[in-house]
Amino acid sequence: MASSPPKKTLNSQSSSLNRPPPAVKFGRRTSSGRTVSLSRDDDLDVPGDSSSQTDYINYTVHMPPTPDNQPAGSSGSTSGPRNKMERRLSVMKSNNKSMLLRSQTGDFDHNRWLFESKGKYGIGNAYWSEEDENYDGGVSMSDFFDKPWKPLTRKVHIPAKVLSPYRLLIVCRLVVLFFFLWWRIANPNEDAMWLWGLSIVCELWFAFSWILDILPKLNPINRATDLDALRDKFEQPSPSNPTGRSDLPGVDVFVSTADPDKEPPLVTANTLLSILAVDYPIEKLSAYISDDGGAILTFEAMAEAVRFAEYWVPFCRKHDIEPRNPDSYFNLKTDPTKNKKRHDFVKDRRWVKREYDEFKVRINGLPEQIKKRADQFNMREELKEKRIAKEKNGGVLPPDGVEVVKATWMADGTHWPGTWFDPKPDHSKKDHAGILQIMSKVPELEPVMGGPNEGALDFTGIDIRVPMFAYVSREKRPGFDHNKKAGAMNGMVRASAILSNGAFILNLDCDHYIYNSKAIKEGMCFMMDRGGDRICYIQFPQRFEGVDPSDRYANHNTVFFDGNMRALDGLQGPVYVGTGCMFRRYALYGFNPPRANEYSGVFGQDKAPAMYARTQSGASQNSQTSDIESDTQPLTDDPDLGLPKKFGNSTVFTDTIPVAEYQGRPLADHMSVKNGRPPGALLLPRPPLDAPTVAEAIAVISCWYEDNTEWGDRIGWIYGSVTEDVVTGYRMHNRGWRSVYCITKRDAFRGTAPINLTDRLHQVLRWATGSVEIFFSKNNAIFATRRLKFLQRVAYLNVGIYPFTSIFLVVYCFLPALCLFSGKFIVQSLDIHFLSYLLCITITLTLISLLEVKWSGIGLEEWWRNEQFWLIGGTSAHLAAVVQGFLKVIAGIEISFTLTSKSAGEDEDDVFADLYLVKWTGLFIMPLTIIVVNLVAIVIGASRTIYSVIPQWNKLLGGTFFSMWVLTHMYPFAKGLMGRRGKVPTIVYVWSGLVSITVSLLWITISPPDDATGAGGISV
């Protein structure tokens, strides 16, 4: 546009009218966020020199005549100064705020604008009129400002003032460790080479183990979700969704249980109620419970829970109840009326509380009721058989009597198809038919509003629908390997695919309930955000209730859940820990992600887009191209990267796979969203369930369905390990998928943890044994593909290696005692070099721990409890796991575990009664031996030093210091053995005495007293 040179004063009004209006006025953004005009024309009165920095202190911003800042009915022509001024003022009068107003009022977020437009010129910078030849009719300024695209999640990085010193200290400690180990190797203890050699081997392994643990923690991050943006995008009226019906994908919630004696049905029922009352579109939610024991007690308890849910679920929606587990809610110590606005809340709560108390009575009375009913029906059957026998035998009973099977009966007078109280063939835990019962039907698409009298409650204007719920118990027969929990989960995956086919699956243990009713929506923010199609699962942290206030045995495990898992989220994602995890169904089926990267180089520093393995059909169509690509695609030979083929012979199931994949895609509402679906694609209702559909669902949970398939190998939960959760997550990461760690402000889920020492050690034993199995299997991270990031590979490698630290830890715990017994030490003398290295290592470790506490948010007491239990578990459960792992690998001895009972102790009035129960187990032997040996060694070492002619006080102090270090870590174990009020079991006294006597006699035999020797066997 040609124009005269800019002038410093205003021209006459006529000259201003004759000049055509400017098309665009350009500007720049200052540090304060304001927009400064850079267009120099006659309308600006710029005093002073043009190069002065104060040119634009008093400035005027001119907006071009665009459709979004023009008054209705006005034309684009300028007929006079009044129209020109009105046009300028229309910026303030318009309903659509202009860029100027958004900038000056703070509504305009420049960072968000850069994110939304990716800094592309044209959108948000300038507006082209429709007459312009470069005009793109698909995007306009009004569209951009009226409905801006918002991200559903964002990363919250750890402050550099915390993370930078943390990384620096890690590097410093690595350097100090290197020089310390070098000095230790270069300066052997000639007087006690065996002590020196043992200590060197242990210290080298500890350094290696620490490196494996600390390296994945270099990049911890936090994440935040935007539930308001999720609601605006999926649950508000729009051109593609005029009614504002939810466009969110379906979610299937899985709950697994196996034994009602060890997993009380009341706990499982409360978990189910929290699921049915969750804040998620009712028609998109389905709940499933897998009863792997086939117990009628669980079946009838779930039926009672569904009946109670007809009142509990609308009550939660009406009064916004949190948490929505009735047992936890009614046991809250806070004021229940806080933030409750409805006047009838107290009346409703009192009525529901009374109903819940009656519900608990019915649940607790079910065992006796079912047995009484079974006895009545069996007696009736026995009388019937006797009458028939008399009729056949001339009115006299046969000499051998009449045999009647003692069956377990349902309320409708039919045999229970699952496990009977008196197990019989076809009716035992490992031999029973498959059971599938839809206890709550598929809800209607439109809301069903309650009335003023819904069981003495006023639910007017409240949606009283309840999500669909199904009870599932897969078929079990002798001769089939049912693969424990993993097999049960895979059975639910297939059955749910036919019944509801939710694009996402949330799995919970029976004692983990939903504490935050919006937890599913929080996880959905990640799945539906840009790039969410690459996420295989969302892992939530585990939080526990009923743990003793001091957390004696580190049950909360906050160091792992708030430290390690948060750090893994900065890599490729956290590991799957068995519960509180929301899966993408398509990823569970063994498919590769839509996009992935390969990492090559020694440390995986070279990143490139992954080349996908070709299917057999594609290879047959173009075999020559396939052969050429196979030379450049080494990953195609990896069985973990091929496409799954063998899903079973159910065509109904296989037809659901592409549907689940499509429904799990994010909305294609932005140019940066890849692999998306159009808005409004999930508004149609689900088809109603009919008899053939339910029959097909029963067929896919039969025991023979998985024969000659890839279930458990590359599809679904992976078999072959007692920690199937870690292996399943590893397989997904190995294909290139990512996972996300979702820490919500209000805990998403809560559960229970074993606070008894024996139960806690057995839990740790199961985890450690699974890790040993992983180390000796093809799931070892050493054999991972190049789609696994280097540090993620290190983290998974540490998962398989950490139990082996127990071997060196046990040896190192005995070293102080050996030093005190022998009068020697691991070094020649406590010189300045050794003490300086030891001081530097201790200081750096302390500072690293403090900074880790800072960015993870854990407490110092929690960190110290974790350190104590690391030593307790390492010398007991981890060592036993290594032994069991070697037995399985060498001798083929299979490892089996039983469920930990969740019942309380004998004192029902004491919540922490289990804490004081002492149940002897073989896992106690090694820690108890370490404690007794170190105590005896301190006594013997002190006696020798005191009564020796030339006392070696420095060696006594060194040995005693390290012995006290061991005993301090063992304090919670010793306290657990004492029980309540010092009621120590007799076996503890017996074992302690035996160890003390044995150690003393061995030492006297090995090193008999000699009048001519002093301390340490030195001649005097």
State the pLDDT confidence band at 78, using cuts at 50, 70 and 90: very low
The contacts of residue 932 (CB under 8 Å, 6+ apart) are: 992, 995, 996, 999
From the number of C-beta atoms within 10 Å of its C-beta (0-12, 13-18, 19+), residue 125 rates as middle
DSSP tag of 859: -
Q: Which segment of 160-169, 358-367, 449-458 scores lowest on mean pLDDT?
A: 449-458
428 Cβ contact partners less than 8 Å away, ≥ 6 residues apart: 419, 420
CB atoms within 10 A of CB 311: 21
What is the predicted pLDDT for the residue at 593? 93
Residue with token string 């049960």: 488
- In the block, residue with structure tokens 């919006």: 518
What is the Cα–Cα distance from 108 to 99, expressed in whole angstroms?
A: 7
Report the C-alpha gap between 137 and 415 in whole angstroms.
69
Task: Record the tokens describing residue 31, joined without a space.
Answer: 């540090």
Distances (CA, A) of 499 to 444, 470, 493, 695: 15, 9, 10, 10
Tell me the pLDDT band of 62, cut-offs 50, 70 and 90.
very low
Provide the pLDDT for residue 472: 96
Reported confidence tier of residue 70, pLDDT bands at 50, 70, 90: very low
Read off the pLDDT of residues 465-477 as tens digits, 9 standing for 90 and up: 999 999 999 999 9
pLDDT of residue 532: 92
Q: What is the 3-state secondary structure (H, E, C) of 911-972?
A: CCHHHHCCCCCHHHHHHHHHHHHHHHHHHHHHHHHHHCCCCCHHHHHHHHHHHHHHHHHCHH
pLDDT tens track for 602-635: 888 888 888 764 333 333 334 333 333 333 333 3
Range from 276-285, 398-407, 757-766 that averages highest in pLDDT? 276-285
Structure tokens at 886: 């070697």
Place 30 in a pLDDT band, splitting at 50, 70 and 90: low
Dihedral angle sign, alpha carbons of residues 478, 480, 482, 488: negative
725 noted as active-site residue? yes
Of all helices (H) and strands (E), which one includes residue 751? strand 749-752
Token digits of residue 967: 């005993």
DSSP code, position 124? S
User: Catalytic annotation on 292?
Assistant: yes
Is residue 37 within 8 A of residue 18, CB to CB? The reply is: no
Q: Is 452's pLDDT higher than 90?
A: no
Q: Which residues contact 770 (CB under 8 A, 6 or more apart)?
A: 721, 722, 723, 724, 726, 727
pLDDT tens figures, 780-791: 999 999 999 999
Instruction: Give the pairing of strands 431-432 and 427-428.
Output: antiparallel
Please give the average per-residue pLDDT across 423-445, as a whole number. Answer: 92
**pTM above threshold 0.85:** no
Confidence of residue 675 (pLDDT cuts 50, 70, 90): confident
Given the residues 42, 68, 279, 292, the one annotated as active site? 292
- Which residue would you say has higher pLDDT here, 26 or 318? 318
Mean pLDDT for all residues in the chain: 81
Cβ neighbors of 847 (< 8 A, separation 6 or more) are 165, 169
What is the SS3 string spanning 169-205?
A: HHHHHHHHHHHHHHHHHHCCCCCCHHHHHHHHHHHHH
Residue 238, Cβ neighbours under 10 Å: how many?
A: 17
Say which amino acid occupies 410.
Answer: M
Angle (CA) 976-981-982 rounded to 5° is 60
Bridge partners (DSSP) listed for residue 415: 409
pLDDT digits (tens, 9 = 90+) for 331-343: 998 888 888 888 8
Q: How confident is residue 544, by pLDDT bands cut at 50, 70 and 90?
A: very high
Confidence of residue 660 (pLDDT cuts 50, 70, 90): very high
Catalytic pick among 42, 348, 725, 747: 725
